[in-house]
């Protein structure tokens, strides 16, 4: 009896998912825990594994279908039962052999037939016999060759058969300059779009900007990169500095680490920092839990792991839930300046941008420095402009003088 493959629970608030792609077809053999399908939820994309080794007997829902948690989507035959599928391939092979034999018989050339009594072989042995194109009206006279224009070789008579095979091949579609392609949105993309619209409608979002000199951070990374990597087996990244700086600023301005619940403001004494990561399947925001307790090395390892698993579609739903503040780095793609949108129910998001060498004034002189624009979007319902500007100013001060975060000054 085939065993059912059901959609597993992927989060408390998720009741249905979408089948994005089947990685296996009916009749394919599978190993235990081998991915057989890609599943999209409103928060992440994950692989559906085979519960045991065997053969995929039946697929009950096609790609693109929306199914509920716990619903049966396929059936699998275990190793003992999968032997029923064995003769299928044997029959197919024997059928192929029989087909090949019959094909050879059909294609037997007629040259083995003996020539008629009134016909003479051509003078040159080994030369293909010439056939008159007008054989019904004229016969070849002995000792005379037919004109070349009226005779063709036997190999030439086989050319029409080749053409007929070619005519069976599918013709290439001529592309038009005004084509349209309809692709359904994934569940993750629909959820992101819904949340972004809700954020615009529900919040009084405002963005303030500043710029920061990245010289100190770049010097620290260059000076300590080799020893840091040897000790912790991870590179000293840029994002970890901003996570540390954001936590320091959030401690001074708790409104940006709070949320609105009805008529109440909920302040938090912990810091779960979301890190926005762009993947081929959509934007995801995994959360660094209790980031205030993590070292630089722990932050860099966690962020690197998030980025890798986001590309592979292996982030867990609970890793994407919650978050008290978000950081996004559009500079990784070359963005010079942008206004990020808050991830509800949070009240703030910090946008990093590309580092660009620009002329700036320093101590009465024009110097070239690696500069980055920073953007803070905040919910003006509970965060005033003063707090937002000072929050961003605090991050600027820490990044330009990283020792501040350790001395707490």
Tell me the pLDDT tens digit for each residue of 283-333: 889 999 999 999 999 999 999 999 999 888 788 888 988 899 999 999 989
The residue whose two tokens read 């529900």 is 202
C-beta of residue 37 within 8 angstroms of C-beta of residue 86: no
Distances (CA, A) of 36 to 21, 49, 315, 324: 9, 6, 17, 36
Query: Out of 28, 98, 134, 384, which one is annotated catalytic?
Result: 384
Provide CATH code, domain 3-84.
2.40.50.100
Q: CB-based contacts of 256: which residues, under 8 Å, 6+ apart?
A: 249, 250, 325, 347, 348, 378, 383, 387, 388, 391
DSSP, residue by residue, 230-246? HHHSS---SHHHHHHHH
Distances (CA, A) of 169 to 158, 161, 163, 172, 251: 18, 13, 10, 9, 69
Strands 348-352 and 325-329 come out as parallel
Number of H helices, E strands in the chain: 9, 21
CB atoms within 10 A of CB 334: 9
Residue 272, token pair as written in the block? 């779960």
Average pLDDT of the chain is 81
Answer whether residue 92 shows pLDDT above 60: no
Answer whether residue 214 shows pLDDT above 90: yes
Which pLDDT score is estimated for 25?
A: 92
The lowest-confidence range among 119-133, 176-190, 196-210, 307-321 is 119-133
| pLDDT cut 70: percent of the chain above it | 75
Convert the pLDDT of each residue in 16-63 to its tens digit: 888 888 999 998 999 998 999 988 887 777 888 898 899 999 999 988
Beta strands in 245-332 (DSSP E): 259-261, 264-266, 273-275, 277-279, 282-284, 287-288, 325-329
CB atoms within 10 A of CB 213: 19
Examine the residue annotation and report whether 384 is marked as an active-site residue of this protein.
Answer: yes
Beta strands in 158-280 (DSSP E): 205-213, 259-261, 264-266, 273-275, 277-279
Average pLDDT over residues 136-164: 45
Which pLDDT score is estimated for 339?
A: 95
Instruction: Give the HSE-up count for residue 295: Cα atoms under 13 Å, Cβ half-sphere.
Output: 6
Distances (CA, A) of 393 to 113, 204, 253, 353, 385: 99, 21, 12, 16, 12
C-beta of residue 153 within 8 angstroms of C-beta of residue 128: yes
Question: How far apart are alpha carbons 42 and 321 in whole angstroms?
Answer: 11
Q: For the chain, first and last CA: distance in Å?
A: 70
More confident residue, 143 or 295: 295
Query: Out of 47, 61, 380, 397, which one is annotated catalytic?
Result: 380
Before 345, cis peptide (omega within 30)? yes
Which pLDDT score is estimated for 10?
A: 78
Which band of pLDDT confidence, cut at 50, 70 and 90, is reported for residue 80? Answer: low
Which pLDDT score is estimated for 400?
A: 96
Which band of pLDDT confidence, cut at 50, 70 and 90, is reported for residue 144? Answer: very low
Which pLDDT score is estimated for 347?
A: 96
Q: CB-based contacts of 350: which residues, under 8 Å, 6+ apart?
A: 242, 246, 325, 326, 327, 328, 340, 374, 375, 376, 392, 395
Answer whether residue 140 shows pLDDT above 50: no
CA 78 distance to own-chain centroid: 31
Which pLDDT score is estimated for 145?
A: 46
Answer whether residue 102 shows pLDDT above 70: no
Question: How far apart are alpha carbons 237 and 278 in whole angstroms?
Answer: 17
Residue 184, token pair as written in the block? 């359904």
Examine the residue annotation and report whether 195 is marked as an active-site residue of this protein.
Answer: no
The residue whose two tokens read 């320093």 is 362
Which value, in Å, is the radius of gyration of the alpha carbons in the chain? Answer: 36
Which pLDDT score is estimated for 170?
A: 53
CATH tag for 187-407 (out of 3.40.640.10, 3.30.559.10, 1.10.3720.10, 3.40.50.1100)? 3.30.559.10
Convert the pLDDT of each residue in 44-53 to its tens digit: 778 888 988 9
Question: How far apart are alpha carbons 395 and 248 in whole angstroms?
Answer: 8
Answer whether residue 164 shows pLDDT above 50: no
Which pLDDT score is estimated for 263?
A: 93
Which pLDDT score is estimated for 341?
A: 93
Burial 241-259 (b: 16+ CB within 10 A, else e): bbbbbbbbbbeebebbbbb
Which band of pLDDT confidence, cut at 50, 70 and 90, is reported for residue 279? Answer: confident
Which pLDDT score is estimated for 79?
A: 63
C-beta of residue 42 within 8 angstroms of C-beta of residue 194: no
This prediction has a pTM of: 0.67
Which band of pLDDT confidence, cut at 50, 70 and 90, is reported for residue 264? Answer: very high
Which band of pLDDT confidence, cut at 50, 70 and 90, is reported for residue 173? Answer: low
Which pLDDT score is estimated for 137?
A: 44
The lowest-confidence range among 164-168, 226-230, 254-258, 375-379 is 164-168
CA 116 distance to own-chain centroid: 71
Average pLDDT over residues 222-244: 95
Would you kindly state where each structural domain of the chain is located, as residue ranges? 3-84, 187-407
Which pLDDT score is estimated for 165?
A: 43
Which band of pLDDT confidence, cut at 50, 70 and 90, is reported for residue 281? Answer: confident
């Amino acid at each position: 009896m085939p065993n059912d493959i059901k959609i597993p629970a992927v989060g408390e608030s998720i009741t249905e998912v979408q089948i994005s792609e089947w990685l296996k077809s009916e009749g394919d053999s599978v190993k235990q825990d081998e991915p057989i399908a890609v599943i999209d939820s409103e928060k992440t994309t994950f692989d559906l594994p085979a519960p045991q080794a065997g053969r995929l007997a039946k697929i009950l829902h096609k790609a693109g279908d929306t199914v509920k948690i716990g619903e049966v989507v396929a059936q699998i035959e275990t190793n003992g039962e999968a032997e029923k599928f064995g003769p299928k391939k044997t029959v197919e092979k024997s059928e192929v052999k029989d087909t090949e034999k019959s094909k050879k018989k059909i294609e037997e050339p007629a040259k083995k037939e003996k020539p008629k009594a009134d016909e003479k072989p051509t003078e040159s042995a080994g030369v293909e016999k010439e056939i008159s194109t007008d054989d019904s009206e004229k016969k070849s006279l002995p000792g005379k060759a037919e004109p070349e224009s009226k005779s063709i070789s036997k190999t030439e008579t086989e050319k029409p058969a080749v053409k007929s095979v070619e005519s069976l091949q599918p013709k290439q579609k001529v592309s038009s300059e005004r084509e349209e392609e309809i692709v359904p949105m994934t569940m993750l993309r629909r959820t992101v779009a819904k949340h972004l619209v809700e954020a615009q409608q529900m919040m009084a979002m405002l963005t303030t900007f500043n710029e920061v000199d990245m010289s100190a951070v770049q010097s620290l990374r260059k000076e300590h990169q080799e020893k840091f990597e040897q000790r912790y087996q991870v590179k000293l990244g840029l994002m970890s500095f901003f996570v540390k700086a954001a936590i320091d600023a959030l401690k001074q301005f708790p409104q940006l680490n709070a949320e609105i619940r009805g008529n109440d403001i909920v302040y938090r004494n912990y810091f779960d920092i979301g890190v926005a990561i762009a993947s081929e399947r959509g934007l995801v925001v995994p959360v660094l839990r209790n980031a205030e307790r993590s070292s630089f090395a722990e932050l860099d390892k966690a962020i690197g792991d998030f980025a890798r698993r986001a590309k592979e579609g292996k982030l867990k739903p609970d890793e994407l839930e919650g978050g008290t503040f978000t950081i996004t780095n559009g500079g990784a793609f070359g963005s010079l300046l942008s206004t990020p949108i808050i991830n509800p129910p949070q009240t703030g998001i910090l946008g990093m941008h590309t580092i660009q060498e620009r002329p700036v004034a320093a101590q009465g002189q024009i110097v070239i420095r690696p500069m980055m624009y920073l953007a803070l979007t905040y919910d003006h319902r509970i965060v005033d402009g003063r707090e937002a500007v000072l929050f961003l100013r605090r991050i600027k001060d820490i990044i330009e003088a990283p020792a501040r975060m350790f001395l707490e000054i």
